[in-house]
Amino acid sequence: MEVLCHPNPVLKQHAAEIDVSTDADLRSLVRTMAEAMYEHAGVGLAAPQIGVAKRVIVFDVDERLSALCNPVIVERSGETLVDEEGCLSVPGISVPIERSEWVVCNGVTLDGKEVTLRADDFLARVLQHEIDHLDGVLILDRLQLDDRKEAVKAYNALMEAERTD
């Protein structure tokens, strides 16, 4: 399964909320997303990354696959941490991204159950990253202008090297 890469315009779109009770293709979509995530050695993936403009994410933190529909961060810590992040849609680079230290996220399971997750550390970072994708935001968009220019330059050089190999 292909993961869309920057600068694909689909990655900049805002994904639509879904109705879990009527979306007949939801379980198949989640299965496809998980396969793509694992195939590309990721820890999270949002539906827009495979060209589906729906508010669905999958993630595997602590060796447990989870899926969440219509996730929304409803609370976040005032404290932030900066850490290196990579992205399956911007392969080959990692950049320092500032994220909230913890978040509270509401969403819906595949069974239609409303859930609230309080996430710290790595899981908080993964949720924020994947929810960004649902809003059309990439890690490149979180960088200061000069840092973004350098990251895009490095990414473009990697992509060009792959095309010539």
Residue 101 has pLDDT above 90, yes or no: yes
Residue 1 has pLDDT above 80, yes or no: no
- Give the Cα separation of 37 and 43 in Å (integer): 7
Q: Report, as an integer, the average pLDDT of 152-164.
A: 92
| Active-site residue set | 130
Q: Which residues of 134-150 are buried (b: 16+ CB within 10 A; e: fewer)?
A: bebbbbbebbeeeebee
Query: For the segment 72-100, what is each residue's pLDDT rounded down to a tens digit?
Result: 999 999 999 999 999 999 999 999 999 99
* Domain extent listing, the chain: 9-164
Query: For the segment 116-128, what is each residue's pLDDT rounded down to a tens digit?
Result: 999 999 999 999 9
Residue with tokens 């994947």: 130
9-164 topology per CATH: Peptide Deformylase (3.90.45)
Q: How far is CA 87 from the centre of its chain?
A: 8
What is the reported pTM?
0.95
- Residue 31: name the closest of 6, 52, 5, 10 by CA: 52
